A and B are shown apart, each in its own frame.
Chain A
Amino acid sequence: MIFDDLRAIQLRYGFLPKAELEAFSQRSNTPLYQIHSVASFYPHFQLVPPPKADVRVCADMSCHLNGACELRAELEQRLGKSSPADLLIRDVSCLGRCDHAPAVSINDEIFTGVTAASAEAIARKAILGEAIPEPHPGHARVQCASDPYNSEEKYGVIRKLAATKDWDAVLAELKLSELRGMGGAGFPTSMKWDLVRKQPGAEKYIVCNADESEPGTIKDRFIMTHLPHLVMEGMIVAGLVTGAQKGILYIRHEYHLQKEILGEELRRCYRDGLLGKNILKSGLTFDLEIFVSPGGYICGEETALIEAIEGKRAEPRNKPPFPVQAGLWQKPTVLNNVETFANVPQILARGVEWFAAQGESGSRGLKFVGVSGHAAKPGIYEVAMGIPMRKVLFEYAGGIRGGRQLKAFAPSGPSSGYLPASMVDVRLDFKALAEAGSMLGSGAIVVCDDRTCMLDMALNAVRFYRNESCGKCVPCRVGSQKMTDLLVRWTHGGVAEKQYQADLALVDELCQAMSLTSICGLGQIVPAPVQSVLKHFREEIDAHVLKGQCPSGICFTAAAKAGEASRVGIRP
């Protein structure tokens, strides 16, 4: 496995020295180009010696709304005199700590809610070569309504199935429950499992996508911390039902703690005979392993994730064929999100009726949502599917911080686009949000108060996609950059009316081409944040572009302009 070798080299030298890669190439008979194409793709791998303090400030939505720009600027000022060998300050894509923004990664350890002073202190320790372990916050298990085993013995569903082996009943139950994928696309789970089950051949795979990397998305982190047994059980059930004997849980490398918790759960399952050969003496086999991602948002795309497991560049495949037909190692593969797997034992343990009753207004089940940004109480909440967004924002998340007004919210990170405060009564539901021109997605609700510049937020979102594009296809690779360029030009203001009209037409053409021709969802969704702000906040955008005015009063200030050059965006 190429990643294991690269990790071993990097652990030893701190980066990947050329001579070591050449030796590895010889040893493993892997062409040099292949090693380099992989090593240069993933952010986890370093091809040059890293500085003593590698400081990466999260630049995405929630952290951006919580002063990441200012934090970075101040850090650069405070640590400006350090040599490049000692210190490197750069942006990093969402670290998955949106509820404790701003987050900063220093030498791969993640610190949350940092201030310039606290980050500086840690960076200085790193420069001196002192240990800087990531603070592991206490993680006493939180009782969740969705856990059927709060008082009972865990893994009851498997215990039952090991005896009955009634797979048809499982599929029927899931079908009846209308459970849909919780990763964003919302594909019916029973249908996916059934398709894999019906595929010929004995070699099949179950893959759990725990690579949540979309800005604002933190719910899987919570589920893996507090309900790891439900994720495991869901995967085992999927294996038993479809006949797959191997499962892989693909987790993002920034989730150190969750990897440990899951690893512990995994060992417990093996010890208790819930995994491995002859599960609970039923004669059934299912093995599970945890695969740590070498990084990148694109790895969350299902086929890119499969490519990554196969040790290649995480570039999405052309579909069809779909993973249910030809997935991991070209074999039929069930690929579901953490929350989807966690839902399965809930339904099977308590029945479809219970599941249906959990939702409101015709929606079903419970949903974990992450609320971040300008929320008074950012965090992860277990809510009934179908409740109004207003309830999530104002009852669960305590409204807007500092008593300010709600201006906009993204129902699911940048991919869902931004909806105006006037639409806050939209229900948390697949269909309702789709009708509102948005999506339920992964439940990554990001809240913006009235001092948020929506052009800045559109640029922030597009820039995230630009940074995370794998570069495989033209529309996404080139289009995301050109879209960023265009928005940057807009943010400077002073664009002539005629030019602005031409730009708008160009944006429209570009959005069309990107969503129609990109290989995967990343490229297809890049237009969403831009289109949404043009739709809902047009006056503000016009004023910004044409008159150089920021109605929210945050751009065009002297301070904003002073720090502008160092990064793409309005604010320093």
Chain B
Amino acid sequence: MSTISRLPELVEITIDGRPVRVAAGTSVFDAARMNGTAIPTLCHLQNETPVGVCRLCVVDTGARVLAASCVRPVEPGMKVVTNSEKVLSARKTLLELLMADHPSPCARQEKSGDCELETLAQAAGVTQPRFLKRTVSRGIDDSSLAIAVDHDACILCDRCIRGCNEIKNNFVLGRMGKGYSAGIAFDLNAAMGDSTCISCGECMVSCPTGALTNKTVVGTSIAAGSDAEGFEAEELLQLPVFKGVSGTFLELNRGAIVKRRFRPGEIICREGEFGSTAFYILEGKARVSLSAPIAHVKTQGGAKGLFKKLTSTLAARDADVRSEETRDRTIPIDASVDLAYGNPVAELGSGDLFGEMTCMNFYPRSATVIAETDVVAFEMLRNVLDIMMKNKSFRAQIDQNYRKRALENHLRGVPMFADLSPDFIEHLKGSVELQRFAPGQIIARQGDAAGSFYLVRIGFVKISETYPGGELVLAYLSRGDYFGEIGLLGGGVRTATCTALDHVELVRISGGDFRDMVERFPSVRQGLEAVAAERATQNQQRMQTVRSVPIDQFLSQGLMEAQSLLILDLNSCTRCDACVNACADAHDGVTRLVREGLRFEQYLVATSCRQCRDPLCMVGCPVGSIRRRNSLEVIIEDWCIGCGLCARNCPYGNINLHPFDVMVDDLERPGRKKAVVKQKATSCDLCTHLKEPSCVYACPHDAAHRVDPRTFFSEMLGGGSSK
């Protein structure tokens, strides 16, 4: 008897004239649903607290106004009408209002045809909304790797907000603003990718429209091989790194993560190949190495005669000493370790993540990884990697690995830090902070107070300075580079703006540690001061140039970017191509010069390396082997793996890939060598092995010249001399 007395009281109401009995406290919406009457809704989800904001579920209870049935509890004797003309007409108007502002078809409708708003509108016969459309877009947010945000498709149903805060307790999403300009916002209105969002996917799963949709990656699923084991969402949810993630979200990303098993000796990935996945080793050991010969391209034959065939060969550093070759002791690769220059082999083991750059930024693989023992690894696409990286415990583990294994190499890889004592490095291991930045995010702004010193761990950082009328790129920094010393050693103010160009990870050394470091290690101080002074001078020179030759056309054609131009005076040029032939002859039959290009009055700027001020070719080199000499000339270091990204990046087509036959270790048959064709990138080397560039030398009409554009153009244009 006692159990019966605890049952809720039953309430009798009528729904569209039909008497029904439901437990007290039931919402009218549920009462109708349980009795077979479906009431349309957009903001109501069974697993979330009802909020009654879309008003689509209104019913007539005989009161002055209609009632939102999802938030209205039944009352004894209530007469509910769900389908009168009055109710249906009001609902239709609401749908028409929403559709007027809806980017139809929205992303959800387009992908899966299940935008709830569009479906309901269609059912209600709303085709052409008669209201004026929204005139100002609320914008899209593409910053998250896993979820696309289209604020224009947002109907403020609050489902994502409740999903984030009520269901997952992540407390990231909320309403912002008020009235017609209200919207959803992450944290303090940060971009989703920059926010504290952990990509659990609950908001996206809750969203009725295309406002929050799953972002598919190019080639959504990883090409499955015999060794690939897919996952069911349930299995993934068992893994600690996916704790708290929405199951439906993982379901949508099925195929974006597979488990692979490799036998000893099997290749996991090859250097130079393009890819879009990262690997996380669960069990076993793998060897990471470079198979490209460590050598640079050397042109041989000397200046014995113009018509004698010259040959290019691969030359080792000792055999062909070039000035200002870097003395780095390590080669940066896309893993938690760096490779030693002399012996580019390292070991990866359980808990190591590699291929992050390839996965996040689509750069070529930087090294070859071969299984040493039986290896079990996850292979994943960037949206899954993003979900994992946002998991706090996984992040902590990755950070820990980095501190333990790579930080020391990383620091010591920078020549001037070579003298740091082991105890100081131990101290830094504990105190440095790893920071992530999304593409476009500003790391430090010109004029801000300088607080920290940074080492680049992953990605590329653009250093730029503003000048009246624009922005000048001073440098691109990649793995192994550092910045922030000018501000710290100088006036305490950032002299340039540092922006993440892609997904960037930095090692932040606090101002306090930096001061300790320069105080304790005079050699470090001297080195840094020298670099700071040199960088400051260079930057000043560049800014000076920009200020003194503010010629729009000059700038817009990109010529300003150039340090050294090959120009052909079209008044004397007979188009005989002697220059092109000479270049080919000087470079093993592969010309580095094309007699095509931009015209500037009577001058043709031939397609040949311009030693740009904004050297886009350097962005993305997976092993950091393309850089500038101090003379600003572009140099390709000897560990180039021939992936060709720089050639693709050069906007002027001035980098070529030069094929060579070489003998390398046969990975399939350990201990044996085999002949393969390897490429090395080359660009105009100004024929430094000759007295004068061979193209210039070869021109029978004295039409070809190598010039410094600053001097040349400012003289030619008269006035505005930069000297």
Name A's B-contacting residues (CB within 8 A): 18, 21-22, 31-37, 40-41, 296, 298, 313, 318, 320, 466-475, 477-482, 485-486, 489, 502, 506, 509-510, 512-513, 515-519, 524
CB-CB under 8 A for A509 and B155, given A33-B187, A36-B174: no
Q: Is the CB of B131 within 8 A of A37?
A: no
Query: How many Cβ-Cβ contacts under 8 Å join chain A to chain B?
Result: 149
With an 8 A cutoff between CB atoms, is B486 at the interface? no
10 A–B contacts from the bound complex (CB under 8 Å): A33-B186, A34-B171, A40-B177, A318-B68, A469-B180, A473-B54, A474-B98, A477-B182, A489-B132, A515-B65
**Bound CA–CA A478/B152 (angstroms):** 13
CB-CB under 8 A for A474 and B54, given A32-B187, A513-B93: yes
CB-CB under 8 A for A34 and B66, given A471-B156, A478-B97, A506-B131: no
Find chain B residues with CB under 8 A from A482 CB: 97, 100, 131-132
A565 to chain B: closest CB distance in Å? 13
Find chain B residues with CB under 8 A from A480 CB: 179-180
CB-CB under 8 A for A296 and B178, given A474-B94, A478-B100: yes
**Bound CA–CA A297/B52 (angstroms):** 21
Find chain A residues with CB under 8 A from B98 CB: 474, 478
State which size class the interface on B falls in: 35 or more
- Contact mask B93-131 → A, CB, 8 Å, 1/0? 110011011000000000000000000000000000011
With an 8 A cutoff between CB atoms, is B392 at the interface? no
**Bound CA–CA A519/B56 (angstroms):** 12
Find chain A residues with CB under 8 A from B175 CB: 37, 41, 313, 471
Q: Is the CB of B100 within 8 A of A35?
A: no
Find chain B residues with CB under 8 A from A472 CB: 53
With an 8 A cutoff between CB atoms, is B58 at the interface? yes
CB-CB under 8 A for A470 and B52, given A475-B97, A485-B132: no
**Bound CA–CA A33/B182 (angstroms):** 14
**Bound CA–CA A298/B175 (angstroms):** 16
Q: Is the CB of B179 within 8 A of A469?
A: yes
16 more A-B residue pairs beyond the given contacts A473-B55, A482-B97, with a C-beta to C-beta distance below 8 A: A33-B165, A33-B186, A41-B176, A313-B178, A473-B52, A474-B54, A474-B55, A474-B97, A475-B94, A477-B156, A478-B101, A481-B179, A502-B130, A517-B90, A518-B65, A519-B68
Chain B, range 140-174, C-beta contacts under 8 Å to A: 155-156, 165, 171-174
With an 8 A cutoff between CB atoms, is B37 at the interface? no
Q: Is the CB of B66 within 8 A of A517?
A: yes
A506 to chain B: closest CB distance in Å? 5
Q: Is the CB of A318 within 8 A of B52?
A: yes
With an 8 A cutoff between CB atoms, is B33 at the interface? no
Q: Is the CB of B55 within 8 A of A40?
A: no
A366 to chain B: closest CB distance in Å? 29
Find chain B residues with CB under 8 A from A36 CB: 174, 176, 185, 187-189
Find chain B residues with CB under 8 A from A519 CB: 52-53, 55, 68
**Bound CA–CA A460/B171 (angstroms):** 39
With an 8 A cutoff between CB atoms, is B86 at the interface? yes
Q: Is the CB of B178 within 8 A of A469?
A: yes
B136 to chain A: closest CB distance in Å? 11
Q: Is the CB of B180 within 8 A of A513?
A: no
**Bound CA–CA A37/B65 (angstroms):** 29
Find chain B residues with CB under 8 A from A32 CB: 172, 187-188, 196
A207 to chain B: closest CB distance in Å? 22
Which 9 A-B pairs rank lowest in CB-CB distance, beginning with the nearest?
A33-B174, A471-B182, A513-B93, A31-B171, A37-B174, A32-B187, A482-B131, A485-B132, A478-B97
Find chain A residues with CB under 8 A from B53 CB: 472-474, 519
By beta carbon, the residue of chain A nearest B43 is: A474
**Bound CA–CA A35/B66 (angstroms):** 33
Find chain A residues with CB under 8 A from B97 CB: 474-475, 478-479, 482, 510, 513
- Contact mask B177-209 → A, CB, 8 Å, 1/0? 111111001111100000010000000000000
**Bound CA–CA A424/B606 (angstroms):** 87
**Bound CA–CA A31/B175 (angstroms):** 13
Find chain A residues with CB under 8 A from B165 CB: 31, 33
Most buried by B among A506, A515, A517: A517
CB-CB under 8 A for A466 and B180, given A474-B97, A516-B58: yes
Find chain A residues with CB under 8 A from B65 CB: 515-518, 524
**Bound CA–CA A466/B179 (angstroms):** 7
Q: Is the CB of B177 within 8 A of A471?
A: yes
B618 to chain A: closest CB distance in Å? 33
With an 8 A cutoff between CB atoms, is B71 at the interface? yes
A373 to chain B: closest CB distance in Å? 26
CB-CB under 8 A for A470 and B66, given A33-B173, A475-B97, A478-B101: no
CB-CB under 8 A for A33 and B94, given A467-B179, A469-B179: no
Find chain B residues with CB under 8 A from A37 CB: 174-176, 185
Find chain B residues with CB under 8 A from A41 CB: 175-178
Most buried by B among A474, A509, A524: A474
By beta carbon, the residue of chain A nearest B129 is: A482
**Bound CA–CA A517/B89 (angstroms):** 11
